[in-house]
Structure 1
Amino acid sequence: MWAKLALRLFFRELRRGELTIIFAAISLAVLTVFSLSSVTERIRLNIEQKSADFIAADRRLSSNHELDENYLKVAQDFGLRTAQNIYFDSMLFAGDELVLGSIKAVSNSHPLRGKITLKDALEGEQYEVAAAPAQGEAWLSEGLFYTLGLKVGDQVEIGAGMFSVTKVLVQEPDAAFFSLAGNKRVLLNIADIPATQAVQPGSDVFYRLLFAGDEQLLKDYYVWLKPQLRENQSWQGIKDRQSPLGENLERSERFLLLAGLFGIMLAAVAMAVSAKRYCERQYDPVAMMKTLGGSRRTIKRIFLMHLSLVTVSSLLIGLAIGYGLQEVAVDYLTQFVANELPAAGPRPWLLSIAIGVVCALMFSLKPLLDLFDIPPLRVLRRSLGDKLAVSRVHMALSVGTIFMLMWLFSGDIKTTLLLFAGTATLMGVLFGLSRVFFSAGRKLGLSPGNSWSLAIATLQKRANANAVQLISFALAIKLMLFLFVLKNDMISDWQMQVPEDAPNAFLINIGERDVDQFKQFFAEQNIHHEAFYPVFRGRVNALNGEAFARRVSRQEGEEQQEDARSGVGRELNLTWTDTLPDGNEILEGQWFEQTDELQVSVFEGTAERVGIELGDTLTFLVNTQTFEAKVTSIRSVDWGTLKPNFVMIFNSAMAQRLPVTYFTAAKLEDSHVRPISRKLLQYPTVSMIDIKNNIAQVQSMIAQVSLAIGFVLSIVLISGALVLISQVQASLAERMQEVVILRTLGARGRLIKLATLYEFLLLGALAGFVAALVSDVTLFIIQQQLFGVDGRLHPYVWLLGPASGAAFVAFIGYFMVAHTMRQNTQGLLRKVA
């Protein structure tokens, strides 16, 4: 019996529109979560896939000595695809020319991810393949063709083997970020290594195994592999890669995660407001049911059934709209990323359903309990039950639910806490400020009949309700401002890291007497280049006379002394200069002064890890010479600029103490390839490192994240608008009463309209001002804590916030109540009654 009554009431209220608010709120939450999580997940997977293409695999195992063949066999048993790479240097001979080239021998399955870019002739068109050279063939980089005077089809001798040159090697997905083989690269089939006779016992050879497959299979395989790995063997994925690419991948994931959280927060706020408003509108019907003999149990069943029906239908509609929305967004994004975005998997579906159900249950729980407690006497005394309208328990429950939803979506407690704390601060500041503002308005003494006076009087009359509205408005504005500034700020920072004139090639091993020749060459060819730095290799042996732990021979069974201090652990590329390089900033101490004393500036990361402080003395071993230098400064280094950077820099007192070569970076265009190759032919000891492919990868990532955030911003804008609509809708009944009273007292329609417009302008401006201040401070903290960049304030937002807030709230608010003010007094009286 109760079910039949519940269904009858349900369809009746659907026709009346009583359930529209809560239905729209749940649908909004679901479609927002689904579209945001799906798009951001697909963008994230695409970035990871491209990043995996960049290392030609999902994971790789690297070693300076030959790897156990059983590693490959077990990986294949796990269901992983595998490939092998072997790197070594060897002489190349062609006619009367010879040059030292860097050889990479690969198995037939290489590459596992990504593609190799080739040309069939020096002047031919580029194309991509996912294949290895056939046995007996060699693919050579363009620089080697010029150096050796070759053309496709010629023969080249590599070590003791003769090979046919069949392709021009343009790009490899797994080229090292800083590879000395930049313009002298050779790709061979791994089966041809015996023919070269270049790999012998004691040869300097580098080995690498590549793996690709399901993420869980890779993790399971690593669990088996890890106990067998030695210290000089490394297991890496793209996130482990020490390069700007790996750093930008982590940063982009945080960015997409942060953007998705905003949609969750706004959808949750809309649901909380709407659920409470819906239950408040049922107070009179429930009182009537109780008066007519309806039991609490029956009423509970009726409204729980209503909630269940609304939740299920909202989930279905929300998922359908969200799916269509993300498909439109993905089709749009695909035009810019030039490839099909991978499927997102089940996570967006499961997450959206879970959040929709949680929203419906948690945000409706306390209002429903209040609804069931409505006394029957409310049919005679309408004020009974109104004290339930403002519930601290409901507010606390809603706040806690929002926090849990954010944590569920992000899986990162630090990010969730930062955003949540910023939002809580905003709410506290606004509530206090609103009370002061509304109270102060009484003392302004504005004249009767004035629109501003009426607007301020209305704000005072609904002080508590307006305080809640103000918080909702400010929250929506804050999140939109936050995302807008973050998008522009962070994307701008990334683009600044890779500016248009950023170097894309490095030249090393330049002799001191050849520096002027290269400077002249760069000037003639109009090639932008960085400064020429003297470079030498050295090892830090001691700190303040305390020797670091020396390397031990495992072959001889030696063990490292347990009490020995850990040092840098490797030889460093060192330089000297009297000028602080671009992208470096002094954090402690001061830059070098003119002195004959040997001084050194240290990168902050190394100083922190090793325990180096200002005034310490470092002992260096360079070749057979030992030097002591005083630490005079600690520097931050922006490695992402792709400009020459060093862990340690000496002052010019180091000059003339030992032989050096020089190092520089340049920005090369396609037209510079042939001239630079011919120039390098005159200097066989000079090597060029080409990183154009790496820069293109980083820029592609930036473009994808920018597009994704633009989509998220539009979703957040819609969500914010719906939050405002739900808040204004909640006050429509009271506004109808006010309009009726004002018209009865003789107020003109223009006066009422302007007063309503000014009311929303004041609310929007105040909400926007506080939202701008709080969002800017929160952004400052997040930039430092989550993105690892120097935070900065944005004063322009303090003006943009009030202006945009006033315009946004006034437009939506006035649009919502305009229909009410156009109705005649008789029609309004019927609705109020």
Structure 2
Amino acid sequence: MSSAIPRIARRQLWVQLRTIEWRVLILAALLAVTLTSFLSIVSDRLESGLLRESASVLGADLVVRSSRPINEQRTDLAEELGLTTTRVIQFPTMVGAGDNLILSSAKVISDPYPLRGEVITDPPMQVAVPEPGTAWAEERIIDQLGLLIGDTLQFGYADLVLTARLKQSPDRGSGFNTLNPHLLVNQQDLEKSAVLGPGSRAEFRLLISGDNDLLKTFEARLKPTLENHERILSLINDQPVTGNALANGLSYVRLSSLTTLLLASLTILLALRRFGHAQQSRSALFLSMGLTPNALVRLYFWQLGIAATLIAVIGGMAGALLAGLADIWLSGLLPQALPNARWTSYLIGPALGYAMLLLLGMPPALEQAKVPVAQLLRSDQTNTTQKASWGLYLISLVLLSAVLLLFLAAPAAAAVLLIMLGISGLLFGWLAQLILHSLGRFLANRLALGRLLIMRLRQQRKWHRLQAGVMVLLLMLLSVIWVARQDLVKEWQAQFPEDVPNYFLINIQEWQKPGVDQFLADRDIDTELYPMIRGRLVDLNDAPIRPQLNEEQLKDNSLRRELNLTWRQQPPVHNQIIQGEWWDSDSSEHQISIERDMLEDLGLKLGDKLGFDVGGQPVSGVITSVREVKWESFQPNFYVIFSPAALQSYPGTWITSFKLAEERKAQANELLREFPSLTLIDIDQLMKQLAGWLERLAESSAFVLIMTLATGLILVTITLLQALEQRKTEVALLQTLGARATETKQLDLLEFGLLGLVCGSLAVFSAEITLAAMNQFLLKIPLSAHWELWFTLPILASFAFIAIASLLRAPLKIEQCYAILKSHG
């Protein structure tokens, strides 16, 4: 008999296609595999493309940075793994032309450069780096020195010919190297310039690019050998502006893929549940003919397995075809063509199709073995294995959750969403059914169809619990993916408000401060000057700090260099106090406000006493407050702020930042002519580069959002189609008893309108909870209420359900009613 099971399963597979339950199941699974394959391929390409594009900020995929020349062993290791490398030396230096001088950030490079991104010059150059004896300079250097293309500038003892204006370049370095105007010089000109001598404050970088897996191997092998003066930089972990945006953007792409999988799983779950219920009479027939329960279970698993194979092949090919067509739109998204997807992304859709069909199909398949043969005689005979069924469903859902976590590189998002799904599915299904029943009682005596409505709601109460629970989850997931993108885009846009500064002014001496204040005030330039002094953290609670820290804390960058310190009477308006209290204006105590990350990384707490070495003089203070600092604000920001009583007697310089519109940039030159010893840093190029990159990230997330919403709309339509099919028998009975076709259609639309209103309202509540968890633990963005969702989603869901039901609900003729009733015995 066992050898006949596959043959019977193949025959039954085609016979089952006559049933609406099987057609809905096949359609839902095929769409799930197709769309999952499509999104997994596109998401993988988008993620790789965004990583490559954003790597242009670093000029490479990975950077080893050091304050000393980098050991050749680092390069040897990278080349041994097949990675591409190049070296960069960057340092501040004065360059001149005649009597004019300007502080620049000289970047000494050699071919190939850069490894990611591109250098843009005017006029365009045919070579990747300046030829020996030449230089490329940014606009600020050229204007300040009064140069023209072809003129000579002094770079130490070397005279270099200016051959191009530097319009854009990646790999801008760290600290004020990022902000000073850049000068690109060939490696061969460094020695004869003699600008880099012992004690020079130079930054040495090894730029590395290549395959992601090889980069991970390189990083893993390099980390244990890093010296104190060396550091590995990556875009996500080490760039305060782009790092959070990129991490959030990639989390959103993965969240969208996960949402699509969960939407598909919910639809398949509902279709399989209905399919299993509809198969009970057929199963009873097989059992009455002598088929054993075990053989019956194998028969259904064979059917599911054959169907899963066909769906995996067809859906996988369709998904790949759609991904190929999407190239037409995606080709204009990033400057370079998107990289090819990894081969594993082509298998995700088919593999998950198998997992979803077989794991979710296990409970209804096992239930068939316990169907009583009396089902043939009494169609209302019910299965008494409800508790066992719930246990099977729980096991299946746990296994499916494990599969989703295995396939998606977003375990935090998956875990949070799956927990929310479990809670929402159980709670909101029951709650929706109770609310629907209450609304039905309220409308029973107020509408002409009220009594029929209350009968419908009572008859469908079990399916309402399941269908409403699934619909709430569908709407909740769509809301989460919609609102999450809006929150992310707002956060990205907030990083570059209209008034964000584009100039830094540093090295303002105490005697120059009144004149600079007056110059800025006369021209209505809104800014504030901050005093600044440099100091090294040396003590914690009156004892050397290093012996008190663990190995990981000793690697913190705040211990490796002098910190910029300041003192203030009032807290900066762009900083937020999150712990403790700011000092009183008349306080004479030495108090400190510290940045949150520094506090956490060094394991400090309120009440700790920190000691600094400021030019050989000790100064200390007690931590009385902790600040949240937005480094991407481009305002003067500090890890440590002292109360005025502690530092105001120390000599220091002043720093500020301000915004100048394009038409007012001539005022920058006026400032330098009046105060030639000041250093003015133009960061417009960096701002434009970052703003353009974030715009591409927002466009990418919009594409993923559109495809996810389309997936959700299709699956909602399939779910409603299945629900309408369930009601055909009742509609046929009502019309046979004298009800008009228009009345039965109005009854269906009224039920679906109420269902949409209730599901939409519950989905908003569930979405707010899920969004709060996502924003707090995954996307790391501020929490906020979304009141527009409360007003729009219930109404939109109600209208959408009515519209879809109107399109899908074909009127039944009386002959069709007789046929339906006859087929159901």
Q: Which residue of 1 aligns with 2:51?
A: 48
Amino acid paired to 1:496: A
Correspondences of 1:417-428 after superposition (within 5 Å): 417-428=415-426
Match of 1:786 among 778, 782, 787: 778
**Inter-CA distance 708–67: structure 2 relative to 1 (3 Å threshold):** closer
Compute the displacement of 1:779 (Å): 1.0
Q: Which residue of 1 aligns with 2:503?
A: 505
Q: Which range is displaced more, 604-613 or 309-318? A: 604-613
Compute the displacement of 1:492 (Å): 0.9
Indicate conservation of the 8 Å contact 2:24/2:722, yes or no: no
State the distance in 1 between where 2:560 and 2:315 align. 56
Correspondences of 1:281-300 after superposition (within 5 Å): 281-291=278-288
Compute the displacement of 1:704 (Å): 3.4
Indicate conservation of the 8 Å contact 1:62/1:208, yes or no: yes
Indicate conservation of the 8 Å contact 1:470/1:767, yes or no: yes
Indicate conservation of the 8 Å contact 1:776/1:793, yes or no: yes
Query: Aligned pair 1:720/2:712, yes or no?
Result: yes
Query: Aligned pair 1:30/2:33, yes or no?
Result: yes
Q: Which range is displaced more, 14-23 or 189-198? A: 14-23
Q: Which residue of 2 aligns with 1:124?
A: none
State the distance in 1 between where 2:328 and 2:515 align. 52
Compute the displacement of 1:479 (Å): 0.8
Q: Which residue of 1 aligns with 2:487?
A: 489
**Inter-CA distance 707–207: structure 2 relative to 1 (3 Å threshold):** closer
Compute the displacement of 1:266 (Å): 0.6
State the distance in 2 between where 1:726 and 1:538 align. 66
**Inter-CA distance 187–202: structure 2 relative to 1 (3 Å threshold):** same
Q: Which residue of 2 aligns with 1:335?
A: 332
Give aligned-pair identity as a percent: 27
Correspondences of 1:686-697 after superposition (within 5 Å): 686-697=678-689
Indicate conservation of the 8 Å contact 2:106/2:182, yes or no: yes
**Inter-CA distance 324–698: structure 2 relative to 1 (3 Å threshold):** farther
Amino acid paired to 1:170: K
Q: Which residue of 2 aligns with 1:70?
A: 73
Aligned partner of residue 787 in structure 1, secondary structure? coil
Indicate conservation of the 8 Å contact 1:566/1:610, yes or no: no
Indicate conservation of the 8 Å contact 1:502/1:667, yes or no: yes
Q: Which residue of 2 aligns with 1:762?
A: 754
**Inter-CA distance 823–169: structure 2 relative to 1 (3 Å threshold):** farther
Compute the displacement of 1:476 (Å): 0.7
Amino acid paired to 2:566: T
Q: Which residue of 1 aligns with 2:218?
A: 221
Match of 1:416 among 414, 431, 446: 414
Query: Aligned pair 1:647/2:639, yes or no?
Result: yes
State the distance in 1 between where 2:173 and 2:682 align. 10
Correspondences of 1:271-286 after superposition (within 5 Å): 271-286=268-283
CA deviation profile, 1:17-56 (whole Å, cap 9, x unmatched): 6632222122122122222222222222122102222211
Indicate conservation of the 8 Å contact 2:736/2:814, yes or no: no
Query: Aligned pair 1:206/2:198, yes or no?
Result: no
Match of 2:577 among 574, 586, 606: 586
Q: Which range is displaced more, 715-724 or 21-30? A: 715-724
Compute the displacement of 1:16 (Å): 6.1
State the distance in 1 between where 2:186 and 2:680 align. 24
Correspondences of 1:151-550 after superposition (within 5 Å): 151-176=148-173, 178-180=175-177, 182-291=179-288, 303-384=300-381, 386-387=383-384, 391-434=389-432, 436-437=434-435, 440=438, 444=442, 446-447=444-445, 450-515=448-513, 518=516, 529-549=526-546
CA deviation profile, 1:525-550 (whole Å, cap 9, x unmatched): 77x65322222212344344334239
Q: Which range is displaced more, 452-461 or 654-663? A: 654-663
Indicate conservation of the 8 Å contact 2:312/2:351, yes or no: no
Compute the displacement of 1:358 (Å): 0.6
State the distance in 1 between where 2:8 and 2:618 align. 94
**Inter-CA distance 37–262: structure 2 relative to 1 (3 Å threshold):** same
Q: Which residue of 2 aligns with 1:816?
A: 808
Aligned partner of residue 331 in structure 2, secondary structure? helix
Indicate conservation of the 8 Å contact 1:477/1:771, yes or no: yes
Correspondences of 1:554-565 after superposition (within 5 Å): none
**Inter-CA distance 184–806: structure 2 relative to 1 (3 Å threshold):** closer
Compute the displacement of 1:509 (Å): 1.3
Compute the displacement of 1:441 (Å): 6.1
**Inter-CA distance 46–821: structure 2 relative to 1 (3 Å threshold):** farther
Q: Which residue of 2 aligns with 1:575?
A: 566
CA deviation profile, 1:768-800 (whole Å, cap 9, x unmatched): 112111210221122111122331222332233
Indicate conservation of the 8 Å contact 2:741/2:811, yes or no: no
The total of aligned residue pairs comes to 818
Compute the displacement of 1:348 (Å): 1.8
CA deviation profile, 1:484-538 (whole Å, cap 9, x unmatched): 2211122112211221221233221123444455556657777x65322222212
CA deviation profile, 1:55-104 (whole Å, cap 9, x unmatched): 11111212111222233234223212111112234443422334443322
Compute the displacement of 1:608 (Å): 3.2
Correspondences of 1:736-751 after superposition (within 5 Å): 736-751=728-743
Compute the displacement of 1:683 (Å): 3.8
Q: If the length of structure 1 is used for normalisation, what is the TM-score?
A: 0.89
Compute the displacement of 1:693 (Å): 4.0
Q: Which range is displaced more, 529-538 or 436-445? A: 436-445
Match of 2:817 among 819, 825, 830: 825
Compute the displacement of 1:133 (Å): 1.1
Query: Aligned pair 1:601/2:593, yes or no?
Result: yes
**Inter-CA distance 831–583: structure 2 relative to 1 (3 Å threshold):** farther
Amino acid paired to 1:491: V
State the distance in 1 between where 2:82 and 2:714 align. 48
Amino acid paired to 1:667: K
**Inter-CA distance 317–377: structure 2 relative to 1 (3 Å threshold):** same
**Inter-CA distance 683–261: structure 2 relative to 1 (3 Å threshold):** same
Aligned partner of residue 757 in structure 1, secondary structure? helix
Amino acid paired to 2:165: V
**Inter-CA distance 521–345: structure 2 relative to 1 (3 Å threshold):** farther
**Inter-CA distance 35–237: structure 2 relative to 1 (3 Å threshold):** same
CA deviation profile, 1:163-201 (whole Å, cap 9, x unmatched): 222111222210125434745422111122221123334
Q: If the length of structure 2 is used for normalisation, what is the TM-score?
A: 0.90
Indicate conservation of the 8 Å contact 2:745/2:809, yes or no: no
**Inter-CA distance 299–592: structure 2 relative to 1 (3 Å threshold):** closer
The two structures, once aligned, show a CA RMSD in angstroms of 3.4
**Inter-CA distance 280–729: structure 2 relative to 1 (3 Å threshold):** farther
Indicate conservation of the 8 Å contact 2:91/2:203, yes or no: yes
Indicate conservation of the 8 Å contact 1:88/1:104, yes or no: yes
Q: Which range is displaced more, 729-738 or 460-469? A: 729-738
Aligned partner of residue 809 in structure 2, secondary structure? helix
CA deviation profile, 1:191-242 (whole Å, cap 9, x unmatched): 2222112333444333221111112222333344334321211122222324
State the distance in 2 between where 1:35 and 1:706 align. 20
State the distance in 2 between where 1:321 and 1:220 align. 35
Indicate conservation of the 8 Å contact 1:311/1:356, yes or no: yes
**Inter-CA distance 168–699: structure 2 relative to 1 (3 Å threshold):** closer
Compute the displacement of 1:389 (Å): 8.1
Unaligned runs of 5+ in 1: 121-126, 552-558
**Inter-CA distance 18–603: structure 2 relative to 1 (3 Å threshold):** closer
State the distance in 1 between where 2:668 and 2:257 align. 47
State the distance in 1 between where 2:471 and 2:102 align. 69
Aligned partner of residue 335 in structure 1, secondary structure? coil
Compute the displacement of 1:386 (Å): 4.6
Q: Which range is displaced more, 532-541 or 303-312? A: 303-312
**Inter-CA distance 182–723: structure 2 relative to 1 (3 Å threshold):** closer
Q: Which range is displaced more, 745-754 or 264-273? A: 745-754
CA deviation profile, 1:397-439 (whole Å, cap 9, x unmatched): 4422442243123334332221122222222331342454366
